[in-house]
């Protein structure tokens, strides 16, 4: 199901390294059971064959839950499993080329770090953008420097595309992120690393609304 940031509040991203030994399927089932409606598969250290098999499982789980399934970076895997979307970075395949591969129906998200990149994303045909990283983050090895709230403030007022705030967002700071105009926030370690994922999703949602 195609759901854009802003149509739901939490954008969950997988990371098995932080999942307390649980499988990606177990974590995904807990997230979806807690009402998460956008799930992105992002696993940087696995072989393509294993990623494909895991994405097939997550495609089934997200479809059953009526949730949106996004694959990070790997356009080929997104196509093979029939994902709802693919998310790419500034140094990945250009949005226009991704569109040639995936066709008009699949969502394309693009990570952006400045107003100029946001404007270029809209011109290129992205469906939504990531805005960040808001805070320092350790869940990506090739992360750019934090952009803080200045770019988020700009995006909240000026972005032509739906956006998800990302980067170091936790329960203790998500309220501030929301006050700066983020209607949807991406979280990784705060969710997948929780002992009780459903309880953490609920507390994060309360903090975002508070």
Cα 82-184-34 angle, rounded to 5 deg: 70
By C-alpha distance, which of 98, 55, 70 is closest to 11? 70
**End-to-end CA, the chain:** 29
**Active-site residue among 56, 140, 170, 205?**
140
Asked if 189 is an active-site residue, the reply is no
Q: Copy the structure tokens of residue 71.
A: 């694959």
Is pLDDT at 138 greater than 90 in this prediction?
no
Fold of 10-209: TIM Barrel (3.20.20)
Asked if 111 is an active-site residue, the reply is yes
d(CA 189, CA 138): 9
Asked if 179 is an active-site residue, the reply is no
The per-residue pLDDT for 48 is: 96
Mean pLDDT of 172-199: 98
**Active-site residue among 19, 37, 42, 59?**
42
The chain-wide mean pLDDT, for the chain, equals: 96
The string of pLDDT tens digits covering residues 30-72 is 999 999 999 999 998 899 999 999 999 999 999 999 999 999 9
Please give the share of the chain, as a percent, with pLDDT higher than 90: 93
By C-alpha distance, which of 45, 50, 52 is closest to 75? 52
CB 168 within 8 A of CB 136: yes
CB 61 within 8 A of CB 25: yes
Domain spans in the chain, listed from the N-terminal domain onward: 10-209
Is pLDDT at 139 greater than 80 in this prediction?
no
Please give the share of the chain, as a percent, with pLDDT higher than 70: 98
User: Phi and psi for 70 in degrees, rounded to 5?
Assistant: -115, 135
Q: Copy the structure tokens of residue 52.
A: 């494909």
DSSP class of 109: E
By C-alpha distance, which of 144, 118, 147 is closest to 130? 118
**Active-site residue among 19, 111, 159, 189?**
111
The per-residue pLDDT for 141 is: 66
């Amino acid at each position: 199901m195609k759901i854009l940031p802003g149509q739901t509040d939490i954008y969950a991203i997988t990371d098995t390294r932080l999942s307390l030994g649980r499988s990606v399927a177990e974590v995904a089932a807990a997230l979806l059971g807690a009402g998460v409606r956008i799930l992105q598969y992002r696993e940087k250290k696995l072989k393509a064959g294993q990623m494909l098999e895991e994405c097939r499982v997550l495609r089934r789980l997200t479809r059953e839950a009526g949730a949106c399934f996004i694959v990070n970076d790997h356009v080929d895997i997104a196509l093979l499993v029939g994902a709802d979307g693919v998310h790419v970075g500034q140094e990945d395949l250009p949005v226009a080329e991704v569109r040639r591969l995936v066709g008009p129906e699949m969502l394309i998200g693009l990570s952006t770090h400045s107003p100029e990149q946001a404007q270029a994303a809209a011109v290129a045909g992205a469906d939504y953008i990531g805005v960040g990283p808001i805070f320092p983050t350790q869940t990506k090895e090739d992360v750019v420097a934090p952009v803080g709230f200045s770019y988020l403030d700009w995006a909240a007022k000026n972005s032509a595309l739906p956006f998800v705030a990302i980067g170091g967002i936790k329960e203790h700071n998500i309220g501030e992120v929301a006050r700066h105009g983020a209607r949807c926030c991406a979280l990784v370690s705060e969710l997948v690393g929780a002992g009780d994922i459903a309880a953490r999703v609920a507390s994060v949602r309360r903090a975002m609304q508070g």
